[in-house]
Chains A and B, each alone.
Chain A
């Protein structure tokens, strides 16, 4: 992919998938996220950009309650998924995470076979009634993860034996296998070389047709390449949120402009 290539940016008004209202996140005494309002649309790639430590990853992890695993982390405000508050007492985070899948910064396949990596999610959620159905889910997920052709002959090989880019696509396939509605990606390409990055970016663009994708990235070029909407975070605040084209060409906030032009961050 060329840096200057822009994903087609026909931004029709789509259904709102996730709506965050006045979200505050505290790590102990530190106020990490301040008053963030954001609306993430369905079938859209939304990029979170911003300098290190600005809270974009923290906010991403709020969207599937991965922050629950951190003892000192507290979240206030509302995050609605299809109109339901995911921080409601009745919500089981396990069920939520099946709907909101996640791909991490470092490729982290389980030290098991490629097949078992993908089949694990469907197995624990009971998505397949029998072996044949499970095989089908695994194949479909690996195909959507754009890695099927490379691994179809060695599904029993350990997932940790793949190259970095393959591992990351395997992790994406694993996340897709549970049939999520939203896919969160936390700097999915930061550990990959440019070729693998291009492959993953292409994949993200394809995933847009089925899922709502939220991607945190350090690379502004990447945000420009893959996303339709971009949110710029700075020091825990959501500075600007809008169409990617507009954010990169004609930002409203001076801080966004200085970040994009390389003056801060």
Chain B
């Protein structure tokens, strides 16, 4: 016993034997220093991470928001009957004979009369004026006339897309200096654009077609939208959900609750973990070999994409499902077996409901992973395909060629016109919104339904 315990309350007159508690010894100092050093490392690591995130998000937002706005030109077009319907009988087949190209003069003259009306002085010819508009404008006009043949002969007001250079000029991407070597636009045309803008007929506005529209060819970046590839992604996700969830959950329940513990199940277990780490492009080439070359499923179809992504997602779902089954305390199984439930009843009545939030979270995260996957889609032809129309019907949605959001972004980033660059970033914003939403749902589900023991 120490002296202190023998004389309680007595003030220590000399230093305690083991050294004072008020003074830190060298060892404690070193330990404390190591601890605060480690805390600094941690804070630095988190700081760097957050900084990167901020840089990334700012970058994406600044580069991508432009895609959600587009420059439009308002124009009253006189749908001249002598040009569009020479026979005058409003026969739809005859009207269709006028090609997209044949509408260009209509637009040019509409622009000419608009200029005259607004009193804008310009030396440009009507044809040169027409060039500030997108090539998509002619197609838009033609589609309108074909679906409303009764409007022929009348004057209709349109809001046309302008071409990507003019749009870029309005967004500050294109300047008078930068077009020195650009054959598709002249300084005179930009002056003309300025005049139209000042007159109020040419303006930037929100562009819903970017979110809901179809992709467009290389010459018309202003008309390209991500909507159709969004549908492609959606159909793929249906396939993944319909296949990966039941197969994954069934496999995990069997492995976790029923399978005997032996060498074979050990091997299966190890291989599932390994599969989760296999590069996704391997699944892509497997899909190409099996689903397309051997089973002759249609190329570029969301069905095939979905099958490939299912293969890729299965290990993730199996691993997370097994983890959440393992987390259910064995006492619950005992309780169920103890009152005479069969093993299956114990699993389905008690274990599975308790594991459900974890399974759902794992599935949503697996789906989010699949949604953002590009590499396997490269190999089954869902890239480079220009989906110009939305699929008609649900069957076509699964079987007709389509793209997917990340594949579409990759495709845009490859194209030459800088206007596509902006759209690639815009596509990334939409993709990220999807992913963040899905992950938020996963977190909410987990918080909401998780039980603690």
Contact = CB atoms under 8 A, between A and B. Distances in A.
B451 A108 contact: no
B337 interface: yes
Which of A106, A111, A125 neighbours the largest number of chain B CB atoms within 10 Å of its CB? A111
A147 interface: no
Interface string B259-287: 01100000000000000000000000000
Interface stretch (A81-89, A171-179, A245-253): A171-179
B71 to A, nearest CB: 59
A97 interface: yes
A101 interface: yes
A120 B339 contact: yes
Given A110-B332, A120-B349, A124-B345, A97 B337 contact: yes
Nearest to B340: A98
Contacts, number: 65
A66 interface: yes
B334 A66 contact: yes
A199 B284 CA distance: 65
Given A106-B331, A110-B332, A111-B354, A124 B341 contact: yes
Contacts of B338: 64, 66, 97, 101-104, 175
Contacts of B453: 160
B345 to A, nearest CB: 6
Interface residues of B, number: 22
A241 to B, nearest CB: 25
Contacts of B451: 111
A89 B341 CA distance: 19
B335 interface: yes
Given A111-B354, A111-B451, A124 B334 contact: no
Q: Report the contact-size class of chain A (Cβ under 8 Å from the partner).
A: 20 to 34
Contacts of A95: 340
Nearest to A102: B338
Contacts of B337: 66, 69, 97
B340 A94 contact: yes
A181 to B, nearest CB: 12
Nearest to A94: B342
Q: Is the interface of A mostly helix, strand, loop or mixed?
A: helix
Interface string B305-344: 0000000000000000000000001011111111111110
Nearest to A121: B339
Contact of A178 (B329, B334, B340): B340
A71 interface: yes
A111 B453 CA distance: 9
B83 interface: no
A71 B260 contact: yes
A71 B331 CA distance: 17
Contact of B341 (A94, A101, A109, A171): A94
A171 B331 CA distance: 12
B260 A110 contact: no
B350 interface: yes
B353 to A, nearest CB: 9
A111 B352 CA distance: 12
A110 B354 CA distance: 10
Interface in B53-92: none
Interface string A104-148: 101011110000000011001100000000000000000000000
Contacts of B331: 104, 106, 108
B337 to A, nearest CB: 6
A64 B338 CA distance: 8
B395 to A, nearest CB: 42
Which of B332, B336, B341 neighbours the largest number of chain A CB atoms within 10 Å of its CB? B341
24 contacts: A64-B338, A66-B337, A94-B342, A97-B338, A97-B340, A98-B340, A101-B338, A101-B340, A102-B338, A108-B331, A108-B332, A109-B335, A110-B335, A111-B451, A120-B339, A121-B340, A124-B341, A124-B345, A125-B340, A171-B335, A174-B339, A175-B339, A177-B339, A178-B339
Given A64-B338, A120-B349, 7 more contacts: A101-B339, A102-B334, A110-B335, A111-B332, A121-B340, A124-B349, A175-B339
